[in-house]
Amino acid sequence: TIYDAIYPQHYIAYRAPARGNDNASTSSSALAIDINGDLDKPFWKSVPWTQDFVDIATDVTPKFRTRVKMRWDDEFLYVAAMMEDTDVWGTLTEHNSIIFHDNDFEVFVDTDGTNHNYKEFEINALGTTWSLLLNKPYADNGGENSKRIDPDGYDMEPHLQSAVAVYPDNNGINRPDIPNTHWTTEIALPISKLMERSTLSKMPADGVFWRLNFSRVQWGVRVNSETGKYEKSPCCQSCASPGSAAEDNWVWSRQGEVAMHLPERWGIVQFSSKAPLQEEMRYYEEWPARCAAMSLYYALKEYYKCEGKYTDDLKVLKDFSKDPFRISDDAKMTIVLGDDGFEASASLSSYTATVNQDRF
């Protein structure tokens, strides 16, 4: 189909070994490993890295390399990330701060592929974390659900486990006098929290796919000559005005614009119970139909901007169709208009996907 050209990054996540095997956890928790930022454990060495991260929206090659590994068991999705960096720093120490004001690593997970009730996790090089649930994307009038704004809000703790390590010297954070090569983070995301409110979710198992993406926010820094400490420095690589004060955003699966909250563009994780490297990548069969449905969503939104209403005229909508989700002539499509929205469906490659005005 025309949508194979925009097929996202795809990673096979292998099941974690049983406790007691492969450098498994010595703690009393349910974790398969000790979470300490050390990515040289056999647990991680036996599985491959993702592709190197790319710029979120452009072809500019990121200044520093970023890669990720994933594994899973019945309790946790395990994530390991390695981030090259010559100046590792951080300022935020309060849990559920807005972590991307520092350099950070971020995980986005949509366990049921509905674009709603997806989860986000952020961590900086000090190990400070923020977890949140989005009922729907911000562009669809979604909002943050977290303890940052509500004491009773969503949080992945206490089950979440995470750690960071700085290389070659763990004392090298916020120390311009100590050279850095990279920093790592190791995260155990509780599956029960990732699936919370995602009612169509399937537990990780052979043949199950989740949608997710990873992001690295990178601010330029320099050393203040008076204080000897790091401070932000305008040097954005990929911004419309290179060298501006904005941050760079590097991601596993390119989003096409500077916006992470477009879950339909995230990468694909395929779960496998086989031994590492013994599984073949399986094409995500829902992909063409999902893209076709999203092509209607985007065209309808463009039409609404111009006309102040939606339409069910597919011929008219073609003039409002844009890349990357362009309307396909091969898909069978229908649009049902409601009082204040629509439900669009698209059938392609033996699968039917539906979407409404809220991207659901």
Judge if 189 and 293 occupy the same domain: no
Beta strands in 141-300 (DSSP E): 144-145, 161-167, 182-190, 209-218, 221-223, 230-232, 248-251, 267-272
User: Percent of the chain scored above 70 by pLDDT?
Assistant: 97
Domain with 296, as residue range(s), is: 287-356
Residue 166: inside a domain, yes or no?
yes
pLDDT over threshold 60, residue 2:
yes
Residue 6: inside a domain, yes or no?
yes
84 vs 249: CA distance, rounded Å: 14
Judge if 293 and 255 occupy the same domain: no
Report which of 207, 314, 212 is spatially closest to residue 271, judged by C-alpha positions.
207
Coil, strand, or helix at residue 230? strand
User: Percent of the chain scored above 90 by pLDDT?
Assistant: 93
Residue 186: inside a domain, yes or no?
yes
**Of 244, 272, 300, at which residue does a domain stop?**
272
Residue 282: inside a domain, yes or no?
no
62 vs 12: CA distance, rounded Å: 24
What does the pLDDT look like over 47-85, one tens digit per residue? 999 999 999 999 999 999 999 999 999 999 999 999 999
Residue 148: inside a domain, yes or no?
yes
What does the pLDDT look like over 214-223, one tens digit per residue? 999 999 999 9
104 vs 355: CA distance, rounded Å: 32
Alpha helices in 144-255 (DSSP H): 191-194
- 332-337 sheet: strands from edge to edge: 332-337, 342-348, 351-356
pLDDT attached to residue 26: 47
Question: Residue 162: what residue type?
Answer: S
The two structure tokens encoding residue 267: 């990468």
CATH code where residue 22 lies:
2.60.40.1190
Judge if 196 and 304 occupy the same domain: no
Residue 280: inside a domain, yes or no?
no
pLDDT attached to residue 21: 54
**Of 272, 303, 323, at which residue does a domain stop?**
272
pLDDT over threshold 60, residue 295:
yes
Residue 277: inside a domain, yes or no?
no
**Of 217, 240, 272, at which residue does a domain stop?**
272
Judge if 256 and 307 occupy the same domain: no
Judge if 306 and 268 occupy the same domain: no
Judge if 131 and 230 occupy the same domain: yes
Alpha helices in the chain (DSSP H): 42-45, 191-194, 287-307, 314-318
Average pLDDT score, the chain: 96
Judge if 243 and 293 occupy the same domain: no
Judge if 152 and 262 occupy the same domain: yes
Residue 226: inside a domain, yes or no?
yes
pLDDT attached to residue 30: 75
Judge if 167 and 230 occupy the same domain: yes
The stretch 286-293 carries a mean pLDDT of 98
What does the pLDDT look like over 12-37, one tens digit per residue? 999 999 876 555 544 445 788 999 99
The stretch 199-213 carries a mean pLDDT of 96
Total domain count, the chain: 2
